[in-house]
Amino acid sequence: MQFKLRPYQQQAVDKAIWAMKLSGNDLLCLPTGSGKSLVIAEVARRLEGQKILILQPSKEILEQNMSKLRPYFEDWEIGVYSASMNRKDRSLVTLATIQSCYKSPELFQGTKLVIIDEAHTLNVTNTAGMLNTFLAGIGNPKVLGLTATPYRNLIGYVKENYGGYEQLEAVTMVKLVMRLKERFWARLLFNLTVKDLLEAGHLCPLKYYNHKFFNQEDLPLNKSRSDFDQEQVAQMFVSKQDDILNVLRRAENAFKSCLVFCASVGQAENYARRMPGSAVVTAKTHAKDREIIVEQFKNHQIKTVFNVGCLTTGFDHPALDFIGLLRPTRSISLYGQMLGRGLRNAPGKTACMITDFTDTVRQMGRVETIRVERVGSHWELLSETAQGTVSWHGKELYRWKV
């Protein structure tokens, strides 16, 4: 049985099909929970008979996209080219990870359209990088990107004059991907916001509780001053752990599923030891163990999971109704991906509570106020902390001497 598209999904598909006749690559901005997989499946269906390659950054997202393709295509029409799936077959519609296919462009000749899910995760500014090299190797076909967060933290360089002495400094800034000077993306074809979907009832409201111990401006940066020093941040929170644990224990009693984003592996493991029945997911977690933990979390056998940099993009657990932030960030993309885990609707769920221990919400603004908006002749990245002509685009986040 094929899926019935919501009006905005149909509009996004129609735009994508219309733009196939235009030169240049196109971008669709669709928030977390808007159903990007359905849009991808319908675009593929509308281009029936043409070779399509769908790139995604992880096995989890590949599986989600494949599940939405199956009602539209026979099994033999869907190929998977991904080491993480233990498959290297190609067909009319092929799902792949760029890491698996970029060295074999000769296998993907004749591709009519490349669809990139979570398009913000790929660095399109590097003309010699694996994405651009791969696309050139298959004849530079049309590219359609989908993302909830069409912006990245990128590093630029400036020269400063200190008393006649010139010093080169590196600056980390937020950049809208369709405003990069390389112009990989020719157009933002369709732009939907979290607020739009909340007002339509398609997403679950977030409630915010500020339980900060420090102002974000006072948190230590790493040696290169390119991000917060997460290990040092975790150490600062050691003296506050009893207070934090009390909040998390109350949350475990009040909510169905609690996800806590931690600053370090040590912090996550320490909190898990002090909360019996909880679990930890980090880069150190074996893939099979991670699958078991995630499955038990979704089945409510585990109520609280302490996570370090893993359960963001592609993690889908609609019943999640509590998120704790112990990891500070100035990456709007990462921030949106973390809090976006709580936006999906689920039976009996009326809101998702966000408890922020890190002062990040005050800095970035509530997720539902973050949006891409046309201001004059440019797209701008705005939130309740960046309004009107004061945009996050091009805003300096960190600076350090080279």
Rounded to whole angstroms, the Cα distance separating 134 from 126 reads 12
Mean pLDDT, residues 148-152 taken together: 93
- From the list 105, 99, 92, the residue with the least C-alpha distance to 122 is 99
Helices then strands, each counted (H, E), the chain: 12, 19
Mean pLDDT, residues 154-165 taken together: 82
Cβ neighbours of residue 141 under 8 Å, at least 6 residues apart? 111, 112, 113, 114, 135
For residue 245, the model assigns a pLDDT of: 97
Rounded to whole angstroms, the Cα distance separating 360 from 172 reads 17
Asked whether residue 317 carries a pLDDT value surpassing 80, the answer given is yes
Host H or E run for residue 372: strand 371-375
Beta bridge partners of 378: 375
Rounded to whole angstroms, the Cα distance separating 394 from 380 reads 10
For residue 312, the model assigns a pLDDT of: 86
Beta bridge partners of 374: 379
Residue with more model confidence, 125 or 238: 238
pLDDT band for 111, please (50, 70, 90 cuts).
very high
For residue 29, the model assigns a pLDDT of: 97
Question: Strands 352-356 and 279-281: what pairing?
Answer: unpaired
For residue 1, the model assigns a pLDDT of: 61
Task: Map tokens 């089945």 to a residue.
Answer: 299
Provide the 8-state DSSP code for 217.
G
SS3 177: helix
Question: pLDDT above 90 covers what percent of the chain?
Answer: 77
Rounded to whole angstroms, the Cα distance separating 203 from 206 reads 9
pLDDT band for 157, please (50, 70, 90 cuts).
confident
Host H or E run for residue 231: helix 230-236
Tell me the pLDDT tens digit for each residue of 229-283. Answer: 999 999 999 999 999 999 999 999 999 999 999 999 999 999 999 999 999 999 8
Residue with more model confidence, 402 or 235: 235
Domains of the chain listed by start with CATH number: 7-149+185-191 (3.40.50.300), 206-369 (3.40.50.300)
List the single range of 17-26, 219-228, 286-295, 345-354 with lowest mean pLDDT: 219-228
pLDDT band for 93, please (50, 70, 90 cuts).
very high
Mean pLDDT, residues 344-357 taken together: 97
Tell me the pLDDT tens digit for each residue of 30-75. Answer: 999 999 999 999 999 999 889 999 999 988 899 999 999 999 999 9
229-240 CB burial, b ≥16 within 10 A, e <16? bbeebbeebeee
Tell me the angle at which helices 7-18 and 36-46 cross, rounded to the nearest 10 degrees.
Answer: 40
Host H or E run for residue 169: strand 165-176
Rounded to whole angstroms, the Cα distance separating 301 from 294 reads 10
Provide the 8-state DSSP code for 180.
S
